[in-house]
Amino acid sequence: MAALPYFDDMICRLGLFTFLMMAYFSASAQLEQSVKDTLAKYPGVFAVAFKDLQTGTELLINAQETFHAASTMKVPVMIEVFKQAAAGRFALSDSVMVKNEFKSIVDSSVYHLNPEDDSQEELYQQVGTRKTLSALMYEMIIMSSNLATNLIIEMVDAKNVTRTMRDLGAAHIQVLRGVEDDKAFGKGLNNTTTAYDLMLLFEKIAEGKAVNAPASQAMVKILLDQHFNDVIPAQLPPDVKVAHKTGEISGVRHDAGIVFLPDGRKYVLVLLSKQLPDIKAGVQAMANVSALIYRHTQAK
């Protein structure tokens, strides 16, 4: 009978553990339902991938759905640049000739980019000059420069980018080509991704495992300077920092990145969309989801 207090204490502890686990799963279920309810108010197809990097918990909604990658493909390209630089193929300080002439992957015919279709027009004024690879990569990410992207893809080769994605565990990201290859687009030869794969990539970056720790830290520093901030960071407090990359084509808006909370915690969030009849409404929907997830992290 003397052992009963021990068993009573153990039962109490198990009861508390069960209660806490039930509360945790209830909160996660409530978050998932809230996100689904929010997105249901807006026309379009959405995907969400969220991972708390402290607890490992995830929220996945349509996370294996395939989307046109739009400019989120520039993150895999950035990873490949750092990988090849680490292998000694080139240095980030090397200079690259700026040109506006590229070959289609369909038939090697020449095509040119239109500055008016690019979010960074200044680089076109520098055709015929040389820019450092690091400067081009920075513009590729923070201003989503299409011209810089195509110059870099010529250097690193799209096939190598996709191969590196497989090595990192991203089974469905496909980087086939540069930007604005209309012949390839017409044949459905597009860069694609899933929310889940982008989540894996940003998790690798956040944990210092994308190439190596110094490279991952350098990537975060670049991503923190993102110029376009109308989705994930839009409704977050100023002291919350987001290292992220957006993407946009007709009917498509994406945002994916790492959210750094003031207390040192961080999480990865990927928000993808397609078939949006109203881009502004789609952006609002995803910004609302980002705010919901942030509030969930603060309620713990």
139, pLDDT greater than 50: yes
What is the structure's pLDDT at 241? 98
Residue 196 confidence (pLDDT): 98
Where would I find the H helices in the chain? 4-40, 74-86, 133-142, 146-156, 158-167, 182-186, 195-206, 213-223, 279-298
Task: Residue 60: count other Cβ atoms within 10 Å of its Cβ.
Answer: 16
d(CA 297, CA 40): 22
pLDDT greater at residue 274 or residue 15 = 274
- pLDDT class of 17 with cuts at 50, 70, 90: low
pLDDT value at 10 more than 60? no
Count of C-beta atoms within a 10 Å radius of residue 108:
7
The confidence score (pLDDT) of residue 209 equals 97
Per the model's pLDDT, the better-predicted residue between 240 and 20 turns out to be 240
Q: Would the pLDDT of 5 be above 70?
A: no
- pLDDT higher at 76 or 24: 76
- State the Cα–Cα distance between residues 146 and 228, nearest whole angstrom: 15
Among 19-28, 52-61, 83-92, 145-154, the minimum mean pLDDT is found in 19-28
The sign of the dihedral angle between the CA atoms of 251, 256, 262, 267 is positive
pLDDT tens sequence across 205-234: 999 999 999 999 999 999 999 999 999 999
Rounded Cα distance, 136 and 134, in Å: 5
**Which structural domains are found in the chain, ordered by start?**
42-298 (3.40.710.10)
pLDDT tier at 299, thresholds 50, 70, 90: confident
At 205, list the tokens.
């970056």
pLDDT value at position 289? 98
Q: Determine the Cα–Cα distance for residues 76 and 260; give it in Å rounded to an integer.
A: 21
pLDDT at 1: 47
How confident is residue 6, by pLDDT bands cut at 50, 70 and 90? low
For residue 273, what is the enclosing H or E element?
Answer: strand 266-274
> Do 220 and 186 form a contact (C-beta atoms < 8 A)?
no
Provide the β-strand partners of residue 244. 257
- Contacts from 226-231 at CB under 8 Å and sequence distance 24+? 226/141, 226/142, 226/257, 227/142, 227/143, 227/144, 228/119, 228/144, 230/283, 230/287, 231/255, 231/271, 231/283, 231/286, 231/287, 231/290
For residue 36, what pLDDT band results from cuts at 50, 70 and 90? very high
Beta bridge partners of 241: 260
pLDDT-based confidence at residue 198 (cuts at 50, 70, 90): very high
Confidence (pLDDT) at 28? 82
Q: What's the average model confidence in pLDDT over 192-201?
A: 98
* pLDDT at residue 106, rounded to an integer: 97
Q: What region does 45 belong to: left with phi over 0, alpha with psi -120 to 50, or beta?
A: beta
**pTM for this one?**
0.91
d(CA 19, CA 130): 63
* Res. 96: pLDDT tops 60: yes
